[in-house]
Amino acid sequence: MTGGSRGIGRETVSRLAADGFAVTVVYAGRTADAEAVVEEVTAKGGRAIAVQADIADEQAVVAAFERTEEEFGGVDVVVNAAGVMNPGTPLVELSLDEFDRIHRTNVRGAFVVSQQAARRVRAGGAIVNFSSSVTRLRQPGYSAYGSSKGAVETMTLILARELRGRDITVNAVAPGPTATSLFLDNNPQEAIDRLASAPPLERLGTPGDIAEVVAFLAGPARWVNGQVLYANGGIA
């Protein structure tokens, strides 16, 4: 599980552990947060380890998979939730350095993780990438982030077809506005209130809402394959 130390990722780790999965929490730099997630899982009788890795670094990702295989005996589910964003900057003002930073993690990182997952996940397993409802909403200020997630969706759907005959499902989850620190800290209150009122359900999503969708794709959803599931309360 990449991006498992905070927000949606952390809630997903807890949800998968509750379903009986042993979980590797792959994190970029927040060691204390990752260790806290592991402690939370183990305190409830689950199994988890934390591994630091830059998901765009092939060797670091290989090492994370190898550590998982050594610790737990194999890989059945890979959830790639790690990502970065920089909302609010119009395309005409966005620097190429910032564009490259976003695409390095969101596109290259998704490719590296998906490639290793495709090589290692056992039959009956699942690969779950994270997209975003930005690919449908197309709000101004999200050109770099939205284009990166569009690439993730395409990559995910193609990989599902490339794994024909392997009994491995490959899907993407596309959350809408969700009450995480990433969202709340990067948006003014006016925008938060507006987005919270936009879905027919008239609220922001919660990390638990998204974790339920991931758990579905990771476990019982064996006939859902090559799909993007938009978990956004009907906003798009």
Positions marked catalytic: 145
Phi–psi pair at 123, nearest 5 degrees = -55, 140
DSSP E strands: which ranges in the chain? 23-27, 48-52, 75-80, 121-130, 169-175, 228-231
Provide the sign of the torsion angle of the four alpha carbons 129, 134, 138, 141, taken in this order. negative
- Give the type of residue at 80: N
Phi–psi pair at 230, nearest 5 degrees = -90, 110
The dihedral region occupied by 73, where left means phi > 0, alpha psi between -120 and 50, and beta the remainder, is left
Closest to 170 (Cα-Cα) out of 79, 96, 82? 79
The dihedral region occupied by 172, where left means phi > 0, alpha psi between -120 and 50, and beta the remainder, is beta
Locate 131 and state its tokens: 């997209």
The DSSP call for residue 5 is T
